[in-house]
Amino acid sequence: MLVPRAETSDQVAFQDVYGSCWIGRKALMLKILSVIYKMVQNNTYATKRDIYYSDTLLFGSQSVVDNIVNDISCMLKIPRRSLHIGKGVPDLNTRLLVRKLWDTCHIPIFTLMDADPHGIEIMCIYKYGSVSMSFEAHHLTVPAIRWLGLLPSDIERLNIRKDALIPLTKQDQNKLTSMQKRPYMACQPMWKKEMEIMAASKMKAEIQALTSLSSDYLSRVYLPSKLQFGGWI
């Protein structure tokens, strides 16, 4: 965050209250302004996560991007529009909607999740239901759902940069082990294999890690090739 600090009667300077070098922070702000300008010119969109993953070494952490984006919004006196996206943990209405689409439209249903234990958990809830709502699983689940990505095996196959990956925490490892022991996993050997790959690598990745390959890799390359050549399990 930048706060005004009066220098003279007709000058206003800004003091960096985050402890980072002002010159370095100014360069990062110009970098993000450049990204914003290009998106406006091309009528494209990105999340703060996308911007961070476009150059993780430069930005260092997600919070740096978050704070600078907020500063730019304040400096230019324009709102930063909220993204209206589905909740990470499947809520009842979203599960009902997906089931309704499957029943009514008879279309294939694919999941695109982060390659981490929580992403796999979300997918399992859509396919098999949750313990808390098990009595309603017959009209909340989509048994035919398929795992499109991000697969742990994709990380090595696509040679995603190491700095775009995140080490598994102890909690992640415990969750992964627990999920592998679930009875329904015996019917999903390919899912189980992907979890074994994740456990062996001790790394996880968010969907935005694909941004490290190119800003539009997800929409231009990854999804089209997966859907065209049957890259789901």
Residues noted as catalytic: 53
Residue 233 to residue 229: CA distance in whole angstroms: 12
Q: What does the pLDDT look like over 87-107, one tens digit per residue?
A: 446 777 788 899 999 999 999
What backbone phi and psi angles, to 5 degrees, belong to 14?
-120, 135
pTM for this predicted structure = 0.65
pLDDT digits (tens, 9 = 90+) for 205-221: 999 999 999 989 999 99
Tokens 């699983």, located at residue: 137
pLDDT-derived band at 86, boundaries 50, 70, 90: very low
pLDDT, tens digit, 9 for 90 and up, residues 27-45: 899 998 998 888 888 777 7
- Tell me the one-letter amino acid at 39: M
Could you tell me which residue, 46 or 203, shows the higher pLDDT?
203
Give the pLDDT confidence score for residue 85 in this predicted structure.
26
Give CA torsion, residues 86, 90, 94, 98, to 10 deg. Answer: 110
Model confidence over 137-168: pLDDT tens digits?
A: 778 899 999 999 999 999 999 999 999 999 99
108-126 average pLDDT score: 94
Domains of the chain and CATH, by start = 2-76 (no CATH), 92-229 (3.40.1360.10)
